[in-house]
Amino acid sequence: MTVDFYSFAKGIVKGVLTPFYRIQTIGIEQFPKEGGVLLCANHISNLDPPVIGITAPRPIRFMAKEELFRAPVVKTLVKSLHAFPVKRGMNDRQALRTGLEVLKQGEVLGIFPEGTRSKDGRLKKALPGVGFFALRTDAAVVPCAIVGPYRPFAPLKVVYGAPVDMAPLRARKASPEEAADYIMDHIRRLLEEHQRA
């Protein structure tokens, strides 16, 4: 039921958002076809999750703020879209365990390393959670750059980069903070490259 609803919702949202924002998807051929994937993107709008959801070739499990799960109707909808709750501003161990399980089961975990939207479009410092997931699993880490801003009928780019090689950091047991910064550097390069293009 969930998968069917996800596919149905994806089709509807894609039909609305793609022409309205003239969404261009770049680099999708680099997205791993199977296995766990940690999909890491910059965050500039509340529309980022659905935009990534309709451009990515595989279903995505997103962390969503816990407040969305308090209203029964919204909770049912968000859960049907594969999201799971996370408490903001604190170390949510249950959310971390769920995220690890998603990756170990070979699914795609979508995460915004900055933790919150950037109001001016500039990248913020990544929170260590993304580094935790990248170091604790062997999932492919895929950087994604949303090149905005969101303006009706103005091109919006969603750029998927090649998987980041985390092996050296995993081998030397780098800290989650270091791994998070490393991932953000790859997102930054994608942004800079395609903002100029």
Cβ atoms of 176 and 45 within 8 Å: the answer is no
Q: Decide if pLDDT at 1 tops 50.
A: no
Please state, in angstroms and rounded to a whole number, the distance separating the CA atoms of residues 152 and 171.
46
Q: Is 22 left (phi over 0), alpha (psi -120 to 50) or beta?
A: left
How many domains, the chain?
Answer: 1
Show the domain range for 81. Answer: 3-194
**What region, left, alpha or beta, does residue 13 occupy, with left being phi > 0 and alpha being psi -120 to 50 degrees?**
alpha
pLDDT reported for residue 83: 83
Sheet of 84-86, strand order: 23-26, 156-160, 140-147, 37-41, 108-111, 60-65, 84-86
For residue 120, pLDDT beyond 90? no
Q: What is the CATH number of the domain that holds 8?
A: 3.40.1130.10
Query: Is the distance from CB of 126 to CB of 149 less than 8 angstroms?
Result: no
- Condensed to tens digits (0 to 9), the pLDDT of residues 22-77 reads 999 999 999 999 999 999 999 999 899 999 999 999 999 998 777 777 777 777 77
pLDDT for position 152: 95
pLDDT tens for 6-30 read: 888 899 999 999 999 999 999 999 9
Residue ranges in 2-159 assigned as alpha helix (H): 2-21, 48-55, 72-80, 93-104, 128-136
